[in-house]
A = this chain, B = another copy of it.
Amino acid sequence: MKKLINDPNNYVEEMLAGLVSAHASLSLGGESGRCVSRSQPAPSGQVGIATGGGSGHLPLFTGYVGEGFTDACAIGNVFEGPTAQSCIDAIRAADHGAGVLCLYGNYGGDRMNFDTAIEMAELDDIACDTVLGTDDVASAAPEEGNKRRGVAGIVLVYKAAGAAAAEGRDLAGVAAAARKANAATRSIGVALAPCQVPTADAPNFEIADNEMEFGMGIHGEPGIWRSELSSADKVADGMLERLLPELDVKRGDKLCVLVNGLGATPLEELYILWRRVGERLAQAGIEYLPPVIGNYVTSMEMAGASLSLMKLDDELEALMTAPAKCPFWSVS
List residues of A whose CB falls within 8 A of some B CB: 2-7, 11, 14-19, 21-24, 55-56, 58-59, 190, 192-193, 195, 209-210, 212, 229, 231-233, 235, 263-275, 278, 290-291, 293, 295, 298, 300-301, 303-305, 330
CB nearest neighbor in B for A300: B266
User: How many monomers of this protein are in the complex?
Assistant: 2
Can you report 12 residue pairs joining A to B where beta carbons are below 8 Å apart? Answer: A4-B235, A4-B273, A5-B231, A6-B233, A7-B231, A14-B272, A18-B275, A22-B291, A265-B301, A266-B300, A268-B300, A295-B295
Q: Are A22 and B278 in contact (CB under 8 A)?
A: yes
Given the known interface contacts A23-B290, A264-B263, A266-B263, the answer about A272 and B4 at a Cβ–Cβ threshold of 8 Å is: yes
Q: Give the complex CA separation of A274 and B17 in angstroms.
A: 9
Q: Are B5 and A301 in contact (CB under 8 A)?
A: no
Q: A4-B269, A4-B304 are in contact. List 4 more A-B contacts (CB 8 A).
A: A6-B231, A17-B275, A22-B271, A268-B300
Q: Are B232 and A5 in contact (CB under 8 A)?
A: yes
Looking at the assembled complex, report how far the CB atom of A121 sits from the nearest CB atom of chain B, in whole angstroms.
29
Given the known interface contacts A264-B263, A330-B330, the answer about A269 and B209 at a Cβ–Cβ threshold of 8 Å is: no
Q: Are B209 and A272 in contact (CB under 8 A)?
A: no
